Amino acid sequence: MLPGQKHPVQHDVTMPAIELQKVSVRYDQTVALDSVTLRLNRGDRVAVVGPNGAGKSTLFHVIAGVVRPQEGQVRIYGSGPGGHICVGYVPQRKVIDWDFPVTVTDVVMMGRVGKMGFLRWPSRHDRDVVRAALDEVGMSAYANRQIGELSGGQQQRVFLARVLAQEAELLLMDEPLTGLDMPSQEVILSLIDRIQRNGVTVMVASHDLNQASEQFPLILLLNRSVIAFGPPDEVLTTANLLAAYGGHMHVVRADNGDLLLADTCCSGGAEMLLPTLTHVTAPVIQSVPQSAVEEMRPPR
């Protein structure tokens, strides 16, 4: 092994990609995760949904090995978290310092550190991998630009290139679509799709329940504990959504199903439109501003 090179944890490919047993995390008095048990197989694609403060980011931190739970057990391919160079974690855009002076190539090369070690210069192979990754996400033309100069969608593409360069086997993305326009969202979703089809296990935190149910075969509905986990039509039931979102949702009953009105995570929110309900098995979820939900709530 070369100087500075990390000793990667060996994978047991017969084990689940992620296995959490009764994992609890507290920050002082705040319970962020409460006895979370979860098992994902290699190649699973999961949307993690739940209200603000539900513990989505904490769950990713636990899997990435940067937060240690007070209780419970975490296993990534059969061994403890941390030291896995296969985990590609893309944090929320708002927690990244976009003024930090690094180029697009630098950011993608960071994905190679686990393979090449901190004290080594990138080899020709490392540079080739980085070039190929940028090409794959359509960002080669921006290789020498400062990361902070790019649009939100382009920045997410660069982070996906970093995940490709890392040859990650587990991709954790914290709200990658928040704040992006629809075309950019579609580009990111199709890149995630392509990465997952290569056998990468993917977890994406999302605030958009409709998009999660359309784009992801599995949904983890979280509110500190696991409310439900499985296919969208089993998870996104009115009862489960009310259990997760409580007072932040309002249910409108109709003959052909439920229309759920949810307050949006972000300011602004979408126009409140009542869609025509045609074939509703899972509830239709419409994001509206908090104020509109408050107005619709019956007086106590």
Give the nearer residue to ligand ADP in terms of CB position, either 137 or 203.
203
Element (H, E) at 254: strand 249-254
Using the minimum distance from each CB to ligand ADP, give the nearer residue, 161 or 220: 220
* Binding footprint of ligand ADP, residue count (CB under 6 A): 11
Category of 2 on φ-ψ map: left (φ > 0), alpha (ψ -120 to 50) or beta: beta
Nearer Cβ to ligand ADP (111/176): 176
- For residues 207 and 250, which CB has a smaller minimum distance to ligand ADP in the complex? 207
The residue within the footprint of ligand ADP, chosen from 52, 267, 276, 278 (CB under 6 A), is 52
What does 223-239 look like in DSSP terms, one character per residue? ESEEEEEESHHHHS-HH
Nearest to 104 by CA among 57, 66, 47, 142: 142
Among 77, 78, 65, 84, residue whose Cα is nearest residue 25: 65
Minimum CB–partner distance for residue 58 and ligand ADP (Å): 3
Asked if 53 touches ligand ADP (CB under 6 A), the answer is: yes
Looking at 9-17, 53-61, 113-121, 236-244, which segment touches ligand ADP (CB under 6 A)? 53-61
Helix axes 182-197, 152-166, angle to 10 degrees: 10
Distance CA 184, CA 190 (A): 10
Q: Provide the minimum distance between the beta carbon of 129 and ligand ADP in the complex, in angstroms, as a whole number.
A: 31
State which of positions 56-95 bind ligand ADP (CB under 6 A).
56-58
The answer to whether 246 contacts ligand ADP (rule: CB under 6 A) is no
Supply the minimum distance, in Å, between the C-beta of residue 252 and ligand ADP: 26
Compute, in degrees rounded to 10, the torsion defined by CA atoms 199, 35, 285, 249.
-160
Q: Which x/- pattern, by CB under 6 A, does the window 3-32 give for ligand ADP? A: ------------------------x--x-x
The answer to the question of residue 54 lying near ligand ADP (CB under 6 A) is: yes
* Cβ 48 to ligand ADP shortest distance, Å: 8
3-state class of 278 per DSSP? coil
In angstroms, rounded to a whole number, what is the distance separating the alpha carbons of residues 106 and 161?
11
Enumerate binding residues for ligand ADP (CB under 6 A): 27, 30, 32, 50, 52-58
